[in-house]
A and B are shown apart, each in its own frame.
Chain A
Amino acid sequence: MLIGLVTGCRKNCGPSGEPVLQLNLQSKSPLMISRIRALNARPDAPAITLPYGYTSSQVATSLQVQLPVNLNTNQSRYELSSGARRDTVTVNYQRVFTYEDVDCGYIINLMPLQPANSGPISNTSIVQSTIGEVTSVFFTRTVPYQIISLNGGMATNTGINVTLRWP
């Protein structure tokens, strides 16, 4: 990383581990997330950092949390606790591994998964929430890029961005 910064020339290859699911939580009332855990995680899995966000004067809340995506299956599940409320969020996707080049080796891309009933791909076929409403879902592709500037340049890492509206 330091060499990359000094030379200013380092190839971005996308995630080398679990890609990130960015979860945006919106609520009309003040919201405090007390606990988030990934379901089916390893016992020694690192704790998930609780969301940062803001509560505006209009008592509306917007929180953001970054969650790891399960690389071993096409589904990741998380449990969010807010006081007595519990939301189980399920995210479906497909993992595509492709060989890039000698610098990157294999890269990963997350893509929408065709539902099992061969119905159309929709937000609710990708994300299910027990108490929230899915308002938007989009996938980012990995774009390898040779030269990255300090802010990341043109390179992007694959990931999923989900917005949920809680009551």
Chain B
Amino acid sequence: MKTSLFVLGCLLLSAVGQAQDSIPLYSDAIAKRAATLRPSIGLDLYQAVWFIHSAGKHDSPATYAYPVSVTVYLPNKSLTGRGQSVYINAGYVAYGGILQRNIYQAGSGIHVRAGIEHTRRGLILGYGGIVSGWLGQASFVFYGPTFGDYQESIGQRGGIAIGGEGHVGAAIPFSSRLSLRMALRATLMGVTTNLRTPHLSGLDWLSEKQVSLGGSLQANLVFRL
């Protein structure tokens, strides 16, 4: 009798335990889903290419581009699985370079881009807009190997560029929280001035027309918060 009561008690306990287990499991799923909807933050590793490229140059006046950019993803569906998110990308660049044959500019620029990104089976499709601006000191340069270079300041030069863009890419998940989002982006831009910046923040390449086509690569290392 005592034994049977003990067995029954154990069964009840296990049943209760099971019931208790099944409830946390359900809430786990919700929590998991909620977790995937938490914002993520990404740092663009591709920009390192510019740092390496600039470090390898030793020309005068110095040509360089040091861009950094951070992206925040606000998913309304899972970021790594099938879903979509709003992305907001902000960046900064310090630049120095020659355009228009001999006009040297050194300064800095910032950009903000935002848009919507769809992810499905590891493939990324996104579209959005970008605003990018720059300001720096300009001068023109004539090379003088015998008597020395001639460089004359032409004051401050800056501008604003606004564009629409789209990108395609791939998402590679490393873990539930860490992933790499790589993309190739094409941008159509209008620029306020005919003297461009040697490196527009947010873009790796931009053609030298008033309305021009730009391109950029990204390799965002994304961490879910």
Interface residues of A (CB under 8 A from B): 13, 15-18, 38, 40-42, 45-46, 68, 70-72, 76, 95, 97, 102-106, 108
Contact = CB atoms under 8 A, between A and B. Distances in A.
Contacts, number: 72
18 contacts: A16-B101, A17-B143, A17-B144, A38-B147, A41-B147, A46-B146, A68-B144, A68-B146, A71-B144, A71-B148, A72-B144, A72-B148, A72-B150, A95-B150, A97-B152, A103-B101, A105-B101, A105-B103
A68 B149 CA distance: 12
Contact of A42 (B140, B147, B152): B147
Contacts of B147: 18, 38, 40-42, 45, 68, 70-72, 76
A88 to B, nearest CB: 16
A106 to B, nearest CB: 4
Contacts of A72: 144, 147-148, 150
B81 to A, nearest CB: 48
A3 B3 CA distance: 97
Of B103, B143, B148, B194, chain A has the most CB atoms within 10 Å of the CB of B148
Q: Interface of chain B, helix or strand or loop or mixed?
A: loop
A16 B98 CA distance: 13
Given A16-B102, A40-B147, A104-B101, 11 more contacts: A16-B143, A18-B147, A41-B146, A42-B147, A68-B146, A68-B147, A71-B149, A72-B148, A105-B100, A106-B140, A106-B142
A17 B147 CA distance: 10
Contact of A45 (B102, B145, B149): B145
A65 B150 CA distance: 23
B208 interface: yes
B153 to A, nearest CB: 12
B5 to A, nearest CB: 95
Contacts of B152: 97
